[in-house]
Amino acid sequence: MKKNLCIGIFLAGVYCARAQAWIRINQLGYTEGDIKVAVLVTKEDLNVAEFSVVEAATQKTVFKGTRINTFGAYAAFKKGFRLNFSAFHKPGKYYIKAGAVQSPVFAISNTIYDGTADFILQYMRQQRTKYNPFLDDSCHTEDGFIVYHKNPRKDSTRIDVAGGWHDASDYLQYLPTSANATYQLLFAYAMNPGSFADEYDASGRKGKNGIPDVLDEARWGLEWMVKMNPGKEEYYNQIADDRDHKGLRLPNKDTTRYAPNMGLSRPVYFITGQPQGPKYKNRTTGVASSAGKFASAFALGAQVLKAYDPVFAASLVPKAKAAYAFGQKYPGTTQTIPFGAPYFYEEDNWVDDMELAAQTLYKTDPQPRYLEDAMAYARKEPVTPWMGADTAHHYQWYPFVNLGHYWGSRQPAHAAEYRSFMQQGIERVKKRGAGNPFLMGVPFIWCSNNLTVGLLTQLSLYKEASGDRQYEELEAAMRDWLFGCNPWGTSMIVDLPESGIAPKDPHSAFTHIGHYKISGGLVDGPIYGSIWNKLIGIKLYKEDAFAAFQSPLVIYHDDFGDYSSNEPTMDGTASLSYYLSKLQAGCVDSIVTVKRVYNGPAAVKIFKK
C-alpha cells in the first residue's frame, strides 16, 4: 500500500505529493559555474511553482527557485518539470526540495570531475587481450588464422594478431570499434593533456613509466592495428565471430575452438571489399570505412606519440598514407561478419571516416589535397545520419560523432561551413528532444549511451569552435543524463559514483562468474521497449529495482541478464575520454603546451586551438 505523504495540502507549489514523484540530479554534482537543472518527474497530476535548495548539513534553505519549465507525459511519467538553479554557486552539499519531494544529496564543487577521465581507463585495461593486467594472466595468445584472403594459398594460414581489446562482454575483436577507441583516446589527450595521470605502465600494471596512462592504452590499440595491417593492401577487420557466444567464461579460460587443427587460434577476417559470411552475409560494398579508420588512428598516433617514441611514431606515417590511398581506391563500407546468426555491425557510411583521415593526415603532412578531399567528403555527409532519426540499424552510422568536422572548423578556408554541419546535427537532435523534461533527443536504439556521448562531444566541440553558447543547457542535460538525471535516477558508468546509484550488475562474465568489479565501463543504456520485447535470451536474474520507471517507450535494467541495456562496451567507454577530460580541464581554450619525458625531456605543442 502506498502511503500518502500529504493529502490535499499545497506546499511550495507542489500538492498531493505521494511517493509517486522523484527529483533526478547529476549524482557527481555540479561545478560552481555549471548550468544546474534538476528534473522532477511524477506519476501524479502535480503542479510545481517553486522549489528550494537546502544545505544538507544544516537543513537550512539557501536558495529558492522559480525558473521552472513544465512538460507533459514522457516515458513512465505523467508530468515533468525542469528546476533551474544555475544562479546558485556556493560550494557545499545540498538537496532539492519541492513540497514533499526531495532529491538525493549532491555536491557543488569545481573538483567533482577530477580523475574521471582516468577512472574509465580501468575498464579499458580490463578489456585487454593477449596479456590482461586485470587478471594478471594471458588470453587469446594464439590468434589467429586467416579467412577470406585474396590469395587462396594464405587462407587458413597463421598470422600473429594477438593483442588489442575485447569488444564488449564477449571476446570478439573488431577493427572499426578498436580504431575508433584508439583515436578517441589519442584525441582526448591531444585536447586535454593535463587531465591524465601516470599511475600504470605500458602493460597496464600499477607503476609509473613516464607516459600518461591514456597514451599507454592508445598505444596498446595502435600496436594491435599494426598487426592487423602487416603489408600493402593487407588489412584485417575482425577476430572471431558469433561462435564465441556459446557460453559464459572468463577470457583466460576460453577454450572455444573454431576449426580442426587450429588449437585455440581464432579466425581473422581479411578485408576484401565484398560481402562475407558463410550463412548470413553482410552488405559490404568497399573498404573505405575501415581503411579510413586505420589511416586516421595511425596519423594521430604519429603526431601524439612523437614526443614519447619518435621511431614508432614515424613508422605510422607511411602506414596512414597507404591506408588512406587504399580507401580512395575502393570506396564503400566494410561491415563485420555474421556467422551463425544474422547479427553484425551494419555500418553503412564511410565518407566520414575518409574525411577524418584526410584532416588528420593534413596535420602530419600539410598537403592542400588532404583539405580538398576532406571538404568533398564532408559535403557528402554534412550530418551524421542518426542525428534527428527515430531509429537506425545496429551501428549503422558509425562513429557516432564525426571529429573530421571539428578539425575542419579549425581550418580558415571552410571553417564556417564545417561549423554549420556541426550545428545542423545538434539542431536535429535538439528538436527531437524538445518535448520531454530531460531534453533527450537521442533515439533509444541499442547502445544509445554511445550516441549520447557522441552528441555531448559534438556539443562541446561546436561551442569551442564557434563560441556559440546557445546549446549549453542541452549539453548539461546530456551530461547529467549519464550521471543520473534520467528516468531511472542511475549513472550509466559502472561504479561512477561508487556510493551512488550506478551499474553494479552489468552483463559480464567478470562480474557474474568471476565476482570482479569492472569499474569505469559505459553500459549500452536505455533501449526502446519495442526492441527489448523482441530480443531473444533476455532473462532478469533479480527483482527489477527500476520497475516503477519502465515504460513501453524505453527501459533500462541494472541486471546481468539484460545484455541489451546493461552491457559495457569498449568503444563507448573510450569515447567518454574526451568529454570527461574536457570537464576536468575546465573547458579552457588555450594553446596547450606540455612537458613530458621519453628518453629525455621534450616539450610538445599539441594542436594549437
Q: Of 51, 82, 108, which marks where a domain is finished?
A: 108
Tell me if 497 is assigned to some domain.
Answer: no
Domains in the chain, number:
2
Nearest to 298 by CA among 377, 219, 367, 211: 219
pLDDT tens-digit series, residues 529-563: 999 998 888 999 999 999 999 999 999 999 999 99
Q: What is the overall mean pLDDT for the chain?
A: 92
Residue 498 lies in a domain: no
CB within 8 A of 328, min separation 6: which ones? 288, 354, 373
Question: Do the domain assignments include residue 68?
Answer: yes
The pLDDT of residue 49 is: 96
Indicate whether 75 and 171 sit together in one domain: no
Helix (H) / strand (E) element for 137: namely strand 137-139
CB atoms within 10 A of CB 587: 13
Over range 5-21, report the average pLDDT: 45
Residue 96: CATH number of its domain: 2.60.40.10
Residue 484 shares a structural domain with residue 345: yes
Q: Are residues 178 and 41 in the same domain?
A: no
List the beta bridge partners of residue 94: 55, 106
Pair 39, 184 in one domain: no
Question: Cα separation of 290 and 177, whole Å?
Answer: 10
Q: What is the pLDDT of residue 246?
A: 84
Cell numbers of 457, please?
562531444
- pLDDT for 51 equals 98
Q: Which helix (H) or strand (E) holds 132?
A: strand 130-132
d(CA 246, CA 135): 22
Dihedral angle sign, alpha carbons of residues 301, 304, 305, 310: positive
Q: Is the model's pLDDT at 425 over the cut of 80? A: yes
Bridge partners (DSSP) listed for residue 269? 147, 238
* Residue-number span of the structural domain to which 14 is assigned: 10-108
Q: Which residues contact 189 (CB under 8 A, 6 or more apart)?
A: 196, 212, 214, 215, 218, 304, 581, 606
The dihedral through the CA atoms of 477, 478, 480, 485 has a sign that is: positive
Can you tell me the mean pLDDT for 298-310? Answer: 98
Q: Could you tell me if 141 and 64 lie in one domain?
A: no
The verdict on 335 and 187 lying in the same domain is yes
- The pTM for the full model equals 0.93
Question: Which CATH number covers residue 373?
Answer: 1.50.10.10
67 and 204 inside one domain: no
Mean pLDDT to the nearest integer, 234-243: 97
Whether 551 is in a domain gets the answer no
Mean pLDDT of 326-348: 95
pLDDT value at position 18? Answer: 52
Q: Which of these three, 86, 108, 130, is where a domain ends?
A: 108
- Is residue 561 a part of any domain in this protein? no
The sign of the dihedral angle between the CA atoms of 304, 308, 309, 310 is positive
Domain boundary pick from 108, 136, 164? 108
Q: Are residues 100 and 146 in the same domain?
A: no
**Helix (H, G, I), strand (E, B), or coil: what is residue 30?**
strand
Residues 96 and 120 in one domain: no
Q: What are φ and ψ of residue 14, in 5° steps? A: -115, 130
Residue 339 falls within a domain, yes or no? yes
Judgement on whether residues 376 and 395 belong to the same structural domain of the protein:
yes
Number of residues that make up the chain: 609
Residue in the structure block whose three cell numbers are 580523475:
115
DSSP secondary structure, 445-501, as one string: -TTHHHHHHHHHHHHHHHHHHH---TTHHHHHHHHHHHBT-STT--BSBTTBSTTSS
> Is the pLDDT confidence value at 109 over 50?
yes
597's enclosing H/E stretch is: strand 593-597
pLDDT for residue 338 is more than 90: yes
Residue 12 has pLDDT above 60, yes or no: no
Instruction: For residues 481 and 572, state if they share a domain.
Output: yes
Give yes or no for residue 335 having a pLDDT over 90. Answer: yes
Cα–Cα distance for residue pair 361/292, rounded to 1 Å: 11
Contacts of 477 (CB under 8 A, 6+ apart): 37, 438, 439, 440, 485
Q: How many Å is the Cα radius of gyration of the chain?
A: 24
- Beta strands 145-147 and 137-139: pairing type? unpaired
Taking each helix axis from N to C end, the angle separating 310-329 and 288-304, rounded to the nearest 10 degrees, works out to 160
In a domain, 537, yes or no: no
Q: Which of 322, 309, 169 is nearest to 235 (CA)?
A: 322
Give exposure, 269-292, as e/b (b: 16+ Cβ within 10 Å): bbbbbbebbeeeebebbbbbbbbb
Going by the DSSP 8-state scheme, the letter that residue 378 receives in this structure is H
Band (605; pLDDT cuts 50, 70, 90): very low
pLDDT in tens, 25-77: 999 999 999 999 999 999 999 999 999 999 999 999 999 999 999 999 999 99
Question: How many angstroms separate the CA atoms of 192 and 464, rounded?
Answer: 13
Residue 5 pLDDT: 34
**Do both 100 and 156 map to the same domain?**
no
Is residue 232, in this structure, part of any structural domain at all? yes
Per-residue model confidence (pLDDT) at position 267: 98
